[in-house]
Amino acid sequence: MRTQVGIVGGGPAGTLLSHLLHREGIDSVVLELRQRETVETTVRAGVLEHDTARLLESTGVGERMEREGAVHHGVELRFDGRGHRIDFSDLTGKSITVYGQQEVVKDLYRARDEAGSPPIFEAAATGFEGLETDRPKVRFRRGARFDPEAGEIRFADGSAEEEVECDFVVGADGFFGPSRQAIPGSVRKEYTRTYPFGWFGILVEGPPSTEELIYALSERGFALVSTRSPTVQRLYFQCDPDDSVENWPDGKIWAELAARLKSRDGSWKLEEGRIFQKGIVRMRSFVTEPMRYGNLFLAGDAAHIVPPTGAKGMNLAVADVRFLAKGLTQHYRDGSDGLLDRYSEVCLRRVWKASRFSWWMTSMLHAFPGEDEFQHRLQVAELDYVTSSRAASTSLAENYVGLPMDEM
């Protein structure tokens, strides 16, 4: 198989890149390990920065997002039982859009279907060749299924190894994919921060408790209230990352959330409903440098992970592939590699800024094991400053709605 750009990973990063390249007349092949149904039905958070939403609109895959997504003009920070709104529109003139990651992927798949080049699903990359040459290859096998119990990929009987020969390889296959490992350890440097807590998340069938996201700090720890749709709500609270969902019956969950989110005057009520999904998300920060090796480019979670507190994960992936698409377009249009040569440098500047913001939000809003009352009071003072100073509120708002992509 021959193409111009071989893309490993058919999530939002890889599929958006394929879509952007197609609009510029550049061919690509996308390999995705999972089944299409799995990708489309796995509910994932979807806080889209201002420029992310505008990019989807301008490239023809934002129609359903405009119709079904919820535009938010601020968030609430709640501490000491009082809510304080950060007004994005007033402070930055921008907004965010809440629209699930799986919905973004559905829209991108539909666009790739219409173009006649959807991802190849259940296709596992098995190796790479010639990454430092102008004809790199990606080896893969079809009929792949990941066995979570065995922790390995299994293949259908009779599946043979194939290869994609291309000009460039893009690894958008997440943290556990093989692309990053293809960069020699002597070249690759990795930075990791593991947080001593996780998020216990639930999906709830019921009415919304809030029109905008609520980030809450209490002496019991962090809590977050958000909305997925008019009938589905997503709520989180800080927990031990080694805890088990079996330890949390529904009644205990609602009691914990109510305790962390209660308002002093009793004016706010947490709406309950049928909990139909529970899970624990571990918290970590991760960055790998460089994001390019030869003609292999890393994008999205293959190169960086941030804690979800700052809502930056998918937005960073979008920024990566937006810049990469520009660089590849420049290469094929006039033979210049100026943007491609700057890919790692430019993207990492944004990655580290987003990592800083996500770390700051996480540190400000979570109870750390072993901390004393002094530390908690410092966090409250920080929140008090952020919500009472226009300059501090603007800094939070600018980062939350997203630093301008036009500067990339």
Three-state SS at 161:
strand
Residue 406 scores a pLDDT above 80: no
Examine residue 290 and say whether the peptide bond preceding it is cis (omega within 30 degrees of 0): yes
Residue 386 scores a pLDDT above 90: yes
Token readout for 332 is 């094929």
> Are β-strands 120-121 and 28-32 bridged in parallel, bridged antiparallel, or unpaired?
parallel
Q: Is 27 exposed, middle or buried (0-12, 13-18, 19+ CB in 10 A)?
A: middle
Alpha helices, H only, 42-190: 50-58, 63-68, 88-92, 101-115
Q: Across residues 52-68, what is the average pLDDT?
A: 96
Rounded Cα distance, 216 and 82, in Å: 9
Alpha carbon distances (Å) from 9 to 18, 30, 41, 300, 327: 11, 7, 17, 10, 19
Note the pLDDT tens digit of each residue in 112-146.
Answer: 999 999 999 999 999 999 999 999 999 999 999 88
Can you give the pLDDT at residue 146?
Answer: 84
Query: Would you please indicate which residues are annotated as catalytic (active-site) residues?
Result: 72, 215, 308, 312, 400
Among residues 258, 216, 263, 239, the alpha carbon closest in space to that of 364 is found at: 216
Among residues 166, 212, 249, the alpha carbon closest in space to that of 397 is found at: 212
Among residues 112, 306, 101, the alpha carbon closest in space to that of 195 is found at: 306
Residue 259 scores a pLDDT above 70: yes
Domains belonging to the chain, first-starting first, are 5-46+100-188+290-358 (3.50.50.60), 74-94+195-282+370-402 (3.30.9.10)
Alpha carbon distances (Å) from 343 to 231, 243, 294: 41, 40, 12
Largest CA distance in the chain: 66
Q: Where are the beta strands (DSSP E) in 206-315?
A: 214-218, 221-227, 232-239, 274-289, 292-293, 296-298, 304-305
Q: Is 58 exposed, middle or buried (0-12, 13-18, 19+ CB in 10 A)?
A: exposed
Q: Following DSSP, what letter does each residue of 344-375 receive, concatenated? A: HHHHHHHHHHHHHHHHHHHHHHSPPTT--HHH
Can you give the pLDDT at residue 408?
Answer: 64
User: Are 259 and 220 in contact, with CB atoms under 8 Å apart?
Assistant: yes
Give the number of other CB atoms < 10 A from CB of residue 104. 27
Token readout for 317 is 């992936």
As beta bridge partners, residue 236 has: 201, 224
Can you give the pLDDT at residue 407?
Answer: 64
Tell me what the pLDDT averaged over the chain comes to: 95
Q: Across residues 367-379, what is the average pLDDT?
A: 91
Q: Across residues 174-181, what is the average pLDDT?
A: 96
Among residues 119, 164, 154, 145, the alpha carbon closest in space to that of 16 is found at: 119
Token readout for 211 is 């029109």
Model confidence band, residue 168 (pLDDT cutoffs 50, 70, 90): very high
Model confidence band, residue 266 (pLDDT cutoffs 50, 70, 90): confident
Among residues 205, 211, 239, the alpha carbon closest in space to that of 226 is found at: 211
Token readout for 196 is 């001593």
In the DSSP assignment, the letter for residue 330 is H
Note the pLDDT tens digit of each residue in 301-356.
Answer: 999 999 999 999 999 999 999 999 999 999 999 999 999 999 999 999 999 999 99
pTM recorded for the entire structure: 0.95
Which of 72-86, 223-237, 259-273 is most confident?
72-86
Rounded Cα distance, 101 and 12, in Å: 7
Give the number of other CB atoms < 10 A from CB of residue 60. 12
Direct distance between the N- and C-terminal alpha carbons of the chain, in angstroms, rounded to an integer: 33
Q: Across residues 17-36, what is the average pLDDT?
A: 97
Rounded Cα distance, 281 and 307, in Å: 10
Number of H helices, E strands in the chain: 12, 22
